[in-house]
Structure 1
């Protein structure tokens, strides 16, 4: 696998030296190949795009996450891939398991609280991994394969999470690597990082804020040479404090389980370069009308030019982004995203027995609630405790068992006991942008 990834990375590096019009020609060719494949192999697209086979991309209907899940079996170009069977398999899956010996399975709850399964074959996964390696290239991070690079990652270790699969499959024996879980108590992770002494550190911005809080308290004894921030938008304040305390500027990498890397930041820090050679990313409003550069959109429609197992054509990702009106001074031929909103989940703080406060990452609640027999969920922190909204629980759900699980995990992380209330409802209200916020902080305590 690693040889295939390095070969595809070499190809992607070559695209960095092309002109924008050459990238457009690559898009045009790859889009034609994708559509031809989808129309010949996917029963869903044969009907979904019926009468539109020769129409431009902008005139095709978009594919929502709910439609993707409802028509998963018909979208698939391999008749052996059936959603129910994949979901059952993933419950017992190890991080190095391949479905049918050839497919990488991943899942995300996204903004709806409903798991969506995505499948990569060897070629598709090699492209996705190469796109992640190019984040390092954009940031100027050079990997020394003889022990000088020490890589630490705090993300998810859940086998079906993309960050876990990337971390596992990109491991190189000669590069010391430490993988930690964002749901573990932050001080346990700090102790392991202090011992490991990473030179390159990859994590979520919300975890980085936890690290900086511990740094202010004098508990952090490591100083990386490079920091890559993934999965969530980073704030200017976070980056400024990283620069002031460590002398390094973080680099944002914007990716999705559905697509791999969507965009990544270079050393000029003028925005995130869109992977226009692998994807077509349309910034649109609520009615799927184009949003011009400089204006904030309501969602993006992503066409994955390398997807074949489950072709994704104008797939909706409900992130609000703003494209830049200008190109980057680095000379790369890709479009720039200058702002991303909407993917950041709040992390919550709780009182500890000694009067201090402990910070709990939102992934903690995802790991507790996603296995529950409910259609959707939301955690709200208020001054009087935690309020859980649960939609349409199924047979076997136990509120008392769930409350005990949450209390035990909060105690493990160092919190005092919390008052927990559970509200059962048919539908959980969504935010003004149409998103379901999984974690909501209504407490007056500043994070």
Structure 2
């Protein structure tokens, strides 16, 4: 199937999703101002449906949740339920999924097709995405039709509010991000983008090419990784980029204060910050120009905890966040561990959005590798070749002329094609002669305190 034909087929297949999100968007935007109690009522209704479905259709959850009474269950009393993490997911994938047609081999084969040809529905109703791997542990996650719709609505419910309150011009948006729909951000974009005035610019391109594309398109909205928005802001200040955006949208990476200041100063436009994951999608978003983020209270149950999974009160940094995704029934994630350091704010919510607020998340920053002659290589360049399901963990160490990569394998794997893909990806990103090494090890060293693997290790300055 050619890429053009695949795109046409997908465009036809996505129309029910697109019509549904367009018809519901105005009503969805109102949820931002619903009373918190009303949002939690909807969340708990979804939670009960999720747990009931998991017990009936997932062998893994059926055993773990055998003693759970579904009736009356709320997000406030699930602390007695067992937790799960990405290692559990990948070790028990076929027993967790609630549709017997789906297996990890079927999902992997489908994802291979998506990477080669573009977005595609599996069995006419599912999307399969892979994590970017900021933790170094790869994973595959299926989304069902209804969950995908709610994820799309959750992504863009703020836009009608933003457009109205900032008095924005008709949108002309540029997406500077994932090049393949195997990643959640590009897959969501491919499904719900109206296509009237939009432009996709792969973040894997050299920075000069990204700048040229944006100068040619002249967007008034840009959605990109914060590290890319920051680099574009520097290009704007130097005069190589000349665009006039009205709002900047950033996500998938921490938006650090100095980055926000540079971006907003360079473009004269506010930044909206998103916090989400491929497993759960949109967790929180900020109001334009504000650093704190408001949780999507109807989309998930959020539990800030310490390293031993004990609850952490507002005002105290949490070592982890346990998330129960209540909108995706095909792959129930119940008290799923996200290794981010999250701080729930202990102060009144000024509104008008009513979701509880968290401070900007700064505990999973994958920065860009910088090489001589102005070459910048984004972590996404490494993510795509390394999402292979046979790779359990990875660590990328920057070297003077490329990168050295170590991997933990789930099963024997020929690393030569992966190395070749990494070299090609770095060349496409603008590195003229990358030297890449990749080797399998029994165990990648972990942080003795947090237990985390540092996915990207940077070359010390001056080396």
Do the structures match in fold with TM over 0.5?
yes
Q: 1:161 aligns with which of 174, 183, 187?
A: 183
Cα displacement (A) at 1:247: 1.2
Cα displacement (A) at 1:164: 1.2
Q: 1:238 aligns with which of 256, 259, 264?
A: 259
Aligned pairs (5 A) from 1:86-97: 86-93=107-114, 94-97=117-120
Cα displacement (A) at 1:85: 1.5
Deviations 1:7-30 (A, max 9, x none): 443443332332222233333333
Work out the number of aligned pairs and report it: 439
Aligned pairs (5 A) from 1:77-156: 77-93=98-114, 94-137=117-160, 139-140=162-163, 148-156=170-178
CA shift in 2, pair 1:141/1:345, >3 Å: farther
Q: 2:193 aligns with which of 162, 171, 186?
A: 171
CA shift in 2, pair 1:64/1:241, >3 Å: same
Aligned pairs (5 A) from 1:179-190: 179-190=200-211
Contact in 2 for aligned 1:139/1:251 (Cα 8 Å): no
In 2, Cα distance between the equivalents of 1:388 and 1:92? 26
**Per residue, is there more helix in 1 or in 2?**
2
Cα displacement (A) at 1:306: 1.7
CA shift in 2, pair 1:142/1:169, >3 Å: farther
Contact in 2 for aligned 1:204/1:232 (Cα 8 Å): yes
In 2, Cα distance between the equivalents of 1:251 and 1:272? 9
**Over aligned residue pairs, what C-alpha RMSD do you find?**
2.7
Cα displacement (A) at 1:390: 2.7
Between stretches 212-221 and 196-205, larger displacement belongs to 212-221
Cα displacement (A) at 1:437: 2.3
CA shift in 2, pair 1:405/1:279, >3 Å: closer
Is residue 9 from structure 1 mapped to residue 25 from structure 2 by the alignment?
Answer: yes
Report what 1:317 is aligned to.
Answer: 338
Is residue 69 from structure 1 mapped to residue 86 from structure 2 by the alignment?
Answer: no
CA shift in 2, pair 1:445/1:254, >3 Å: farther
SS in 2 for 1:301: strand
Contact in 2 for aligned 1:9/1:131 (Cα 8 Å): no
In 2, Cα distance between the equivalents of 1:99 and 1:200? 31
In 2, Cα distance between the equivalents of 1:238 and 1:338? 16
Cα displacement (A) at 1:358: 1.2
Report what 2:379 is aligned to.
Answer: 362
Deviations 1:26-71 (A, max 9, x none): 3333322322222223222221122233673011111111112222
In 2, Cα distance between the equivalents of 1:241 and 1:167? 26
SS in 2 for 1:206: helix
Report what 1:380 is aligned to.
Answer: 397
Contact in 2 for aligned 1:138/1:265 (Cα 8 Å): no
CA shift in 2, pair 1:370/1:105, >3 Å: closer
SS in 2 for 1:288: coil
In 1, Cα distance between the equivalents of 2:437 and 2:33? 56
Contact in 2 for aligned 1:210/1:359 (Cα 8 Å): no
Q: Note the residue ranges of structure 1 that are not aligned, 5 or more in a row.
A: none
Between stretches 104-113 and 185-194, larger displacement belongs to 104-113
Report what 1:51 is aligned to.
Answer: 67
In 2, Cα distance between the equivalents of 1:18 and 1:132? 17
Contact in 2 for aligned 1:383/1:444 (Cα 8 Å): no
Q: Note the residue ranges of structure 2 that are not aligned, 5 or more in a row.
A: 1-16
Q: 1:277 aligns with which of 295, 298, 306?
A: 298
Cα displacement (A) at 1:169: 1.2
Contact in 2 for aligned 1:38/1:45 (Cα 8 Å): yes
In 2, Cα distance between the equivalents of 1:411 and 1:120? 33
CA shift in 2, pair 1:308/1:416, >3 Å: closer
In 1, Cα distance between the equivalents of 2:148 and 2:123? 15
Report what 2:451 is aligned to.
Answer: 434
SS in 2 for 1:386: strand
SS in 1 for 2:350: coil
Give TM-score scaled by structure 2 length.
0.87
